[in-house]
Structure 1
C-alpha cells in the first residue's frame, strides 16, 4: 500500500447529518477517507461484497435492517479480523455491546457521548497502518 494512500472507510449510517459530520472529520487528516456509504443493511452487505475497505463504522439502528445484520455478515464471511470495525450507535445497550464484541467488533461507542472517540481511534489506526 502506498504510504500516501488514505485508508478506505465504509460508513453504514442512515443519518445524513452524522454521515456528513464523520466524512468531514475523517477526511481532514488526509490519512482516511469515506470510500463508501450505506443507509440500509442490504446496501451495506452489497457494498462489502463488491469492494474492500480498511475500516467500517456501523450504526445499529438503520432505516431498513440492522447494523447487527451487517456485523453478522462480516463475522460469518471471516472479514472482521482483517478490518477495523467500529459500532457508533444511540442504542449503546449492554446486550448490543456484548453481542458486538462476541462477533469481533473492535470498538463500540455511544453516539451521544463518544462520537469523537471514533475519529481518535481511526486516526490512530491510520497512523499505525502508514508506519508498516
Structure 2
C-alpha cells in the first residue's frame, strides 16, 4: 500500500511539474520582438545634442519612433506575435535606424539651419 501511495504521489508531482513547465514555455506562434525603441530614442537624443539633427528632423524621427512603438504594442496586444509581424517590425526598426543615420550625416541641412539661426541672431546683436 505504501508503494502505491508513493508511486501515485510521485506521478502527481511529475504531472504537475511538467504542466507548469509547459505553461511557462512560450506558445508556438509567440516569438520575441527584437525592436529596441530606447536605443533609437537615445540615438535621436545624441543627434540633437551634438547638433547633427535639426528640430524639424528630430520631430520627424520622433513621429516615426512613436509609430514604431504603436506597431509593436499592437502586435503584442493579442499575445501572439507571428513571424510575419516580427519581420515587419524589425524592418521598420531598420528603416528608422537608417533614416536617423541619413539625417544625422546630412551636413548641408544642418549647416543651412545653423546659418539661418545665426542670421536671425545677428541683427539683434547689432541693435545693442
TM-score (norm 2): 0.28
Instruction: Give the number of the structure whose alpha-carbon radius of gyration is greater.
Output: 2
TM-score (norm 1): 0.28
Structure that is richer in strand per residue: 1
Higher relative contact order (CA 8 A, sep 6+): 2
Structure that is richer in helix per residue: 2
